[in-house]
Structure 1
Amino acid sequence: MIQIHERSLLPIFEQIVSQVKELIAKGALVEGDKIPSVRELSATLLVNHNTVAKAYQELERQGVILSIRGKGAYVAKAAESPGMLTERLRELKERLRLLVVEAHHLGIGESQLKAWIEEETARYGGKCMLTARNLRKTIERKPVLHHIDFSLAPGQVAGLIGRNGSGKTTLLKTLAGILTPDEGEVSCGGMPIHAHPEAKREVVFIPDSPEALYGYTAYGCADLYGMIYPRFDKTFFLEAMKRFGLPVGKNIKHFSKGMKMLLGTALGLATRAGFVLLDEPTNGIDAIAKKQMLTLLMEAAADGTALVISSHMLDELERIADMVLLLKDGTIEVHDRNGDAYPELVKVQVVFRGDAPEEWLSSPRVKVLERVGKVYTLLLGNEAGPRAFLAGAEPQASAYGELEAMEPLLLEPLPLKLEDMFEWKLGGPTNAG
């Protein structure tokens, strides 16, 4: 019923909100109807579960749906809509007050109560972070990583992007504890993983080719992983192999590249580790298997597994990542996709009145993506931010303002994609070699 339109100017969560409300208006959904869970809709649409959750939170804030813990979300009664959330918060506060009173009667002190609350908040709020601090790594006297700083919380999906040879695989191996940084620290839940090997059980790296496992059957790989990872879920692994249509008794050396990636993903998720790092997981697999894999990844993320996915398939990351790690010149830029993902950019289609302004088009604040006849597709940006102009700033505040002042025959905004940001940030000579 709900579909994502790639060319829409609306963010994905707003598309979900709009379509649910439209289905209710048309009578396709009526009061009391159960709507798909966040996990179900995330896996069906192949979008990040946090995006779906954000849409549901907005629908609940507007009184369109009502979530009942342990049962799901339902289309709400119209009469409940205006103050429903306020009423639920009041009820929650009252329950909390009664619990505090009960604890007092049982002789439980304030410090113990605070400790319990902090413990539960950490468990639910995702304070068991994977954190990289000031990572530096040199390989064969060539600096590959420097000043790497970011954190990843449970359930987050981070897309790792960069040019060929930029150091993505080196970063993943360093995060997993396979490579040791020259400086800096990787910690999981506050425990440095290079100093505490047991912490590595919470961080699993899935390479693009598992040469180390050649000689094993898929079933043998499961036995090996079961000895390393105490929470390894063999039932989940076998179900995933069946889902992918992969043989468990065949030596994986004879698997195709795509089959090896599917096997690696199934093994990594079956460890039930908190953080799974995947290097080009959809490379070499067919369209059907790719959809199955992405569905499996979205289900895992909705269940709380954090993912770092290195990929050149930017259209896939566009939908599933709620955080982008852009690796350039050995450093990381973190882009949070839950808000305005690319505030410094705007994309337009334009037809100039008369001759095109070549000097303006060659300025560092303008990038020509495509020209078909007189129609230009442009990326615009500057330090002030073109979105500021769209919100009412002075025309000279942005390249967009300068463009509008030229009074072109056509000026049409286009939806920004991750590929556009990649082109803007990383366009130019390759970093390979």
Structure 2
Amino acid sequence: MINIHSLEFSHLKREKLFQNLNFRLEPGSITGLLGKNGAGKTSLLKLVAGMLFPRNGEIEVLGHKPKKRQPGFLEMVYYLPEEFFLPNTSIKNYIKANSGFYPSFDHELMKHQLQKFEIPMGNRLDKMSYGQKKKFLISFSLATKCKLLILDEPTNGLDIPSKTIFRKLLAGALADDQLVLISTHQIKDVENLIDRIMVLSNGEIVLDQEILDISDKFRFTTMPDLTSKDIIYHETSPGGYRVILPGAGNSSQVDMELLFNAITKGIKLF
């Protein structure tokens, strides 16, 4: 679905953000794209969506070159940015004007999701708060049924109950032929959703693994002290230490935050 080979990209005359970047993603997963501020996560999402153009290298998405922005490509991809603008119109008019661009748009699913978020269909977009607008756009993005959903910081602006609803809706609305690519700093908001993790650092993908593979090979736990010789990485926590240990075939829930910190500090796990 997404195939990136030898990608090079920079903003105008700045130092190259990506040089010889390579990765491939297939449908049927929710992939989390993680990285520090300035790592280039949003730029990479925009390159995949065809909103930025590579200097060199190849990007193929759903059999298309995104930079060409062909109608057959645009109807299969939905990009939800962190910062957005909505027109001064009603929800009904927005849906009427924009749903036709997506052949698989599911109007019943849209109504269902707005009900879950407690947003009346008769609301005007310009009268809604940032959080309400975000919930509307999340609902719209899932209702498009696009093959590729690109969500940049989707939980920003959501309160705690809305984050729970978001996770339930996303998990329940996806088909096996869809791919969701989520970029976020709020790791805890999505760690129970994603089944693949990619970490972007210094212009490279330094980790690209299935969550199940990580949980099989490593154990994430807390310890009262650091006497064990098997500790791969550790951080201080209340009452002791959060640690990564060899898994030895014993599955454990992956601590995404601990994993991310370990990888970005140069710990080689794979």
**Normalised-by-shorter TM-score class:** 0.7 to 0.9
Which residue identity is paired with 1:139? Answer: H
The aligned residue for residue 425 of structure 1 is 263
Whether 1:292 aligns to 2:165 is yes
Whether 1:369 aligns to 2:243 is no
Which residue identity is paired with 1:184? Answer: G
The aligned residue for residue 139 of structure 1 is 11
Q: Distance in 2 between matches of 1:339 and 1:368?
A: 20
Q: Distance in 2 between matches of 1:342 and 1:261?
A: 36
CA gap 1:209/1:248 in 2 versus in 1, 3 angstroms: farther
The aligned residue for residue 22 of structure 2 is 149
Q: Distance in 2 between matches of 1:310 and 1:284?
A: 15
Q: Unmatched 5+ residue regions in structure 2?
A: none
On the 8 A contact 1:225/1:271 being kept in 2, the answer is no
Q: Distance in 1 between matches of 2:96 and 2:253?
A: 47
Shift of 1:176: 1.0
The aligned residue for residue 310 of structure 1 is 183
The aligned residue for residue 335 of structure 1 is 209
Task: Tell me the alpha carbon deviations over residues 230-272 of structure 1, each in whole angstroms, 9 at most, x when there is no partner.
Answer: 3322332233222211133433233222212211111112222
Q: Distance in 2 between matches of 1:346 and 1:239?
A: 37
Shift of 1:320: 1.1
The aligned residue for residue 105 of structure 1 is none
On the 8 A contact 1:186/1:193 being kept in 2, the answer is yes
CA gap 1:254/1:145 in 2 versus in 1, 3 angstroms: farther
Alignment of structure 1 residues 143-182 onto 2, 5 Å: 143-182=16-55
Alignment of structure 1 residues 45-84 onto 2, 5 Å: none
CA gap 1:224/1:130 in 2 versus in 1, 3 angstroms: farther
Shift of 1:275: 0.7
CA gap 1:215/1:377 in 2 versus in 1, 3 angstroms: closer
On the 8 A contact 2:92/2:121 being kept in 1, the answer is yes
Higher relative contact order (CA 8 A, sep 6+): 2
Which residue of 248, 260, 265 maps to 2:121?
A: 248
Q: Distance in 1 between matches of 2:138 and 2:57?
A: 29
The aligned residue for residue 68 of structure 1 is none
Whether 1:186 aligns to 2:59 is yes
CA gap 1:160/1:371 in 2 versus in 1, 3 angstroms: closer
Shift of 1:298: 0.6
CA gap 1:220/1:181 in 2 versus in 1, 3 angstroms: farther
On the 8 A contact 2:218/2:244 being kept in 1, the answer is no
Shift of 1:167: 1.3
The aligned residue for residue 138 of structure 2 is 265
Structure with the higher strand share, 1 or 2: 2
Structure with the higher helix share, 1 or 2: 1
Q: Distance in 1 between matches of 2:262 and 2:101?
A: 43
Which residue identity is paired with 1:423? Answer: N
How many positions carry a matched residue from both structures? Answer: 261
Q: Which one has the largest radius of gyration?
A: 1
On the 8 A contact 2:196/2:211 being kept in 1, the answer is yes
Q: Distance in 2 between matches of 1:182 and 1:221?
A: 35
Which residue identity is paired with 2:213? Answer: G
The aligned residue for residue 80 of structure 2 is 206
Task: Tell me the alpha carbon deviations over residues 354-401 of structure 1, each in whole angstroms, 9 at most, x when there is no partner.
Answer: xxx9xx9xxxx864411668x554446xxxxx45xx58xxxxxxxxxx
The aligned residue for residue 396 of structure 1 is none
Q: Distance in 2 between matches of 1:320 and 1:220?
A: 32
CA gap 1:342/1:207 in 2 versus in 1, 3 angstroms: farther
The aligned residue for residue 107 of structure 2 is 234
Q: Distance in 1 between matches of 2:226 and 2:42?
A: 44
On the 8 A contact 2:215/2:254 being kept in 1, the answer is no
Which residue identity is paired with 1:269? Answer: L
Q: Distance in 1 between matches of 2:104 and 2:241?
A: 55
Q: Distance in 2 between matches of 1:369 and 1:181?
A: 38
Which residue identity is paired with 2:255? Answer: K
Which residue identity is paired with 2:202? Answer: D
TM-score (norm 1): 0.54
Q: Distance in 1 between matches of 2:237 and 2:121?
A: 51
CA gap 1:217/1:344 in 2 versus in 1, 3 angstroms: same
Q: Distance in 2 between matches of 1:270 and 1:145?
A: 33
Question: Secondary structure at 1:132's aligned position in 2?
Answer: strand
Q: Distance in 1 between matches of 2:237 and 2:56?
A: 46
Shift of 1:312: 2.0
Structure 1 residues 247-256 or 269-278, which shifts more?
A: 247-256
TM-score (norm 2): 0.83
